[in-house]
Chains A and B, each alone.
Chain A
Amino acid sequence: MTPTARAWVAHLTAGGTTPWAQWRAAADHATADTGGEPDPGGTARHLRYLPGAQQLELLRRLNEAGRPGPALAERVLATSAPGRGIADLELVGAARDTPFGPRPVDPADLPDAELVRVATGLLAEDVVAGGPAAPEPGRRAWPWRRRYRLVGDPWLADPARAELVRRRRPPGGQQPTVHVVGADLASMLEHVWSARALVGAAPAWRDWLDPLVRRRRVPPRIDLPAVAGAWATRVGPVRVRVVLDPALLPGLLGTRAPLPGPLPLSADALELSRRVGAALGLLVLPEQRTRLLQQAWAPALADLPAARGTGVAVPQRRLARLTEVATRMREELCRADYPVLGDPDLLLPAATRRSDVEPTDAGVLALALAMVLGPTPGASPGSSAGPSPGNGPAPDEEER
């Protein structure tokens, strides 16, 4: 480790934000390789090796975004990115001249995705350390509740079901009515991916969506005629409803208060969740990962104003093919012998719907930095309970 590099590490550990190239140029200018700044933090003195360029640049960005503190700084420098990918890289100008190993880099040239990789390792550790929210004490079910099951679009059904459980109205019981919840096909696809991002191990949005649309396939959970048909065979068509208008749900389920919608997470927030989920999978078992993502990670993320938005959106050029598939689904539903509540045309993606919203690496990194630094001061706890009607897309959700 050269003295200049050692001094830069100390500078970063003490909260400095000078980029490496500038630091190096200043050191060259001073013609003193001992650096123009003393080693105030002391962390760099005991380092036996120079941390990777990814870790150093992440720490610099964290210093720009807030005040990480010495303990977090040390953790950042000691954490390699989880998973496979580019190895820890050396600093250009600080590594000894050798033809071996990956080429040294200027940390400022690193792609944002590389910094996100390191950040997800730290965030996953934080989530595990925090643990899931304490479970609410089990309460006896309300004896006169309406017996139901809620299936279909997981992004709509899961939060509604969770709220009903909280209101002492768990699903099941004797002879329940099965409500198959849905929306337009494009929204349902966006919802399934969003739900998977909070379960863990989801593929990237377009890697998941494109093959499905190309093959005209529909994920099993939102293949509404198939789901409703399977339940009709099991419990009889008179006890199955397809609900295309979620506003009808409270009345159908025998509750007056409105049911909450999904967490209003932006495309970047969902993508960060997906990546944190992948890192979490290396620290805990799959069931615990899902619990941590949904009960600890997602609510904390949704408290961050920059993480709020309306999620990913199917590209415009895919809508025509989705309309074909949705038309077929609509015809099947119209022929079926169970009731369909809501206009079956609601299945067809509207031509005016928002489209082409995808995560960006810069947006994901900004959120990752905010989450590594900790909850945003002033964010009101519990503000993530449901979508607010005025929520527009976050600035980082603009079309690419």
Chain B
Amino acid sequence: MTRRVLLHVGTPKTGTSYLQDVLFRNTRALAEAGISYPAHRFDAHFLAALDLMRMPWGGLEAEAIGAWDALAARVRAHEGTSIVSHEILATASRTQVGRALASLGHGDGAEVHVLLSVRDLVRQIPAEWQENVKHRSRIRYAEFLEQIRDPDRATRIGSWFWGVQEVPDILDRWGHDLPPERVHLITVPPPGGGPELLWRRFSHAFGLDEVDLDLHAERSNPSLGVPETALLRRINAAAHRELAPADYRPLVRELLAHQTLSQRTGSPRLSLPPDLHPWVAELTEQWLAELRRRRYDVVGDLEDLVGAVPDPRRWADPDKPVEAQVARAGVAAVTALLLDNARLRHEEERLAGELAQAHEALHRAYLRPTYRLREKLVARLQGGRAGRALLKVYRVARGRSSLAA
């Protein structure tokens, strides 16, 4: 059987969290169809990507040590199709790409396919800024836009943004050693296209049409509105020194951003400033010409990358949000934190009750006459050299060194 590796390398904000969640929750169904999604935890491929690219990520890198080689070994061991998916792989260097492909069996009998899901820059630019804010950044939108427009890409923001979003360059790095028919572009439908259409494209590209999958999502990476993102940026500015990354992730990113603020769908949506649209349109035209020339396999339509022209009447600047809207988002955030705090208090009370019961049981055990007799005997023996030696012999004979008895 030919070993096939479907390597999905990005891009961020193209439904990748949903795809990875479905794959992770359906590993058994996939295995029955001969498809391996080798992940022992939902973020296993993220850790492997961190390891491959030797990238720090707020302490998670310590959990990533050796993860790529372990993943690659599982892929090589599977006779059939394996899927590897994480969006930060988009930013891998040529050297890292070379190592990744070789470790997955490219050039050694495996048929490696690279898949890239892509979305128009009109939506990707604001989404990437929002991702930065959800990862502790305090950068304002205007400053972010300025940095990504700097042709030198000398800043961290500029370097990262184009590393994970410049589709022709990503495919230069990942696809330079593959025939074009093994490079697959999956386009995200335009706004209003519906999530089912995107899933159908994923399903087709990954060859999952015949597999009976549970498509109920438990994890996703939902978007925030303008006042909610502005609020989060202010929280970052106020709390980033005090709040460790390990606490930030569950409290701010998960509880506040994903579970609370993303539910507020009535607020103004984040968008590209209308005056930047001509620049984006020109860039997109260049991309489309290049991608058409390369003749990759396209699932969807390259025209999806053109993006809608932003409506100036609906433009809301997140650097100058309507303060009343931010205040309302703030109330929602405080409420969520209070409710979570109350939940934790109840949990603390329950645990304190359990601990008290355990103490009481222990105390009752101490009150038994045999225990008190043994306690007296040990105290007496410890008073003299011979007694201590006797105790030592007893403990050695008993086989453990506990001083309890």
Which residues in A have some Cβ–Cβ distance to B below 8 Å? Answer: 48-52, 55, 78-80, 82-88, 98-103, 121, 278-279, 281-286
Question: Complex Cα distance A102/B159, Å?
Answer: 8
Looking at A99, A100, A278, A279, the one whose CB has the most chain B CB atoms below 10 A away is A100
Contact between chains at B286 and A88 (CB < 8 Å): no
**What are the residues of chain A within 8 A of B159 when measuring CB–CB?**
84-87, 102
Contact between chains at B65 and A49 (CB < 8 Å): no
A292 → chain B, closest Cβ, in Å?
Answer: 13
Contact between chains at B62 and A286 (CB < 8 Å): yes
Contact between chains at B56 and A80 (CB < 8 Å): no
Which residues in B have some Cβ–Cβ distance to A below 8 Å? Answer: 51, 53-56, 61-62, 64-65, 91, 93-96, 98-99, 151-154, 156, 159-160, 162-163, 166, 168-169, 172, 176-177, 286-287, 290
Question: Complex Cα distance A82/B93, Å?
Answer: 11
Contact between chains at A84 and B61 (CB < 8 Å): no
Question: Complex Cα distance A50/B286, Å?
Answer: 24
Q: A49-B176, A52-B93 are in contact. Are A82 and B55 (CB under 8 A)?
A: yes
Q: A82-B55, A83-B55 are in contact. Are A88 and B162 (CB under 8 A)?
A: no
Q: A101-B166, A101-B169, A102-B159 are in contact. Are A84 and B65 (CB under 8 A)?
A: no
- Besides A78-B99, A282-B61, 4 other A-B contacts (C-beta < 8 A): A48-B177, A86-B154, A86-B159, A103-B151
| Majority secondary structure, B binding face | helix
**What are the residues of chain B within 8 A of A87 when measuring CB–CB?**
91, 93, 159, 163
B188 → chain A, closest Cβ, in Å?
Answer: 20
Can you name 13 A-B pairs with beta carbons within 8 Å?
A49-B176, A84-B156, A84-B159, A85-B156, A87-B163, A88-B95, A100-B169, A100-B286, A100-B290, A102-B159, A121-B54, A278-B56, A281-B61
Q: A101-B166, A102-B153, A284-B65 are in contact. Are A80 and B93 (CB under 8 A)?
A: yes
Question: Complex Cα distance A271/B232, Å?
Answer: 34
Q: A52-B94, A282-B55 are in contact. Are A102 and B162 (CB under 8 A)?
A: yes
Looking at A49, A83, A286, the one whose CB has the most chain B CB atoms below 10 A away is A49
Question: Complex Cα distance A82/B91, Å?
Answer: 13
A329 → chain B, closest Cβ, in Å?
Answer: 23
**What are the residues of chain A within 8 A of B93 when measuring CB–CB?**
52, 80, 87-88
Contact between chains at A79 and B56 (CB < 8 Å): no
From B64, B65, B98, contact of A48 by CB (8 A): B98
**What are the residues of chain A within 8 A of B94 when measuring CB–CB?**
49-52, 88
Measured CB to CB, the nearest residue on chain B to A283 is: B65
List 9 tightest A-B contacts by C-beta distance, closest first.
Answer: A82-B54, A101-B169, A88-B93, A80-B93, A100-B168, A100-B169, A282-B54, A80-B95, A49-B94
Q: Tally inter-chain residue pairs, CB-CB below 8 A.
A: 86
Looking at A48, A98, A103, A283, the one whose CB has the most chain B CB atoms below 10 A away is A48
A184 → chain B, closest Cβ, in Å?
Answer: 27
Contact between chains at A100 and B172 (CB < 8 Å): yes
**What are the residues of chain A within 8 A of B64 when measuring CB–CB?**
282
Question: Complex Cα distance A85/B155, Å?
Answer: 8
**What are the residues of chain B within 8 A of A85 when measuring CB–CB?**
156, 159
Contact between chains at A78 and B56 (CB < 8 Å): no
**What are the residues of chain A within 8 A of B61 when measuring CB–CB?**
281-282
**What are the residues of chain B within 8 A of A49 when measuring CB–CB?**
94-95, 98, 176-177
Question: Complex Cα distance A101/B153, Å?
Answer: 10
B64 → chain A, closest Cβ, in Å?
Answer: 8
**What are the residues of chain A within 8 A of B287 when measuring CB–CB?**
100
Measured CB to CB, the nearest residue on chain B to A86 is: B159
Measured CB to CB, the nearest residue on chain B to A105 is: B152
Q: A84-B160, A85-B156 are in contact. Are A52 and B95 (CB under 8 A)?
A: yes
Measured CB to CB, the nearest residue on chain B to A278 is: B56
B341 → chain A, closest Cβ, in Å?
Answer: 28
**What are the residues of chain B within 8 A of A83 when measuring CB–CB?**
54-56
**What are the residues of chain A within 8 A of B99 when measuring CB–CB?**
78
B111 → chain A, closest Cβ, in Å?
Answer: 18
Q: A83-B56, A101-B172 are in contact. Are A78 and B153 (CB under 8 A)?
A: no
Question: Complex Cα distance A88/B65, Å?
Answer: 22
From A80, A281, A284, A285, contact of B96 by CB (8 A): A80
Looking at B64, B95, B96, the one whose CB has the most chain A CB atoms below 10 A away is B95
Question: Complex Cα distance A283/B56, Å?
Answer: 10
Contact between chains at A84 and B56 (CB < 8 Å): yes
From A98, A102, A279, A285, contact of B65 by CB (8 A): A285
Question: Complex Cα distance A80/B156, Å?
Answer: 16
Question: Complex Cα distance A107/B288, Å?
Answer: 31
Question: Complex Cα distance A83/B56, Å?
Answer: 6
Contact between chains at A282 and B163 (CB < 8 Å): no
Question: Complex Cα distance A380/B228, Å?
Answer: 61
From B51, B55, B95, B172, contact of A84 by CB (8 A): B55
Contact between chains at B65 and A282 (CB < 8 Å): yes
Measured CB to CB, the nearest residue on chain A to B151 is: A103
Contact between chains at A100 and B166 (CB < 8 Å): yes
**What are the residues of chain B within 8 A of A99 when measuring CB–CB?**
286
**What are the residues of chain B within 8 A of A282 when measuring CB–CB?**
51, 54-56, 61, 64-65
Question: Complex Cα distance A286/B99, Å?
Answer: 26
Measured CB to CB, the nearest residue on chain A to B290 is: A100
Question: Complex Cα distance A101/B93, Å?
Answer: 11
Contact between chains at B54 and A279 (CB < 8 Å): yes
Contact between chains at B56 and A51 (CB < 8 Å): no
Measured CB to CB, the nearest residue on chain A to B155 is: A86
B246 → chain A, closest Cβ, in Å?
Answer: 13
Measured CB to CB, the nearest residue on chain A to B166 is: A100
**What are the residues of chain A within 8 A of B172 when measuring CB–CB?**
98, 100-101
Question: Complex Cα distance A286/B246, Å?
Answer: 15
Measured CB to CB, the nearest residue on chain A to B51 is: A282
Question: Complex Cα distance A49/B172, Å?
Answer: 11
**What are the residues of chain A within 8 A of B91 when measuring CB–CB?**
87
**What are the residues of chain B within 8 A of A86 when measuring CB–CB?**
153-154, 159
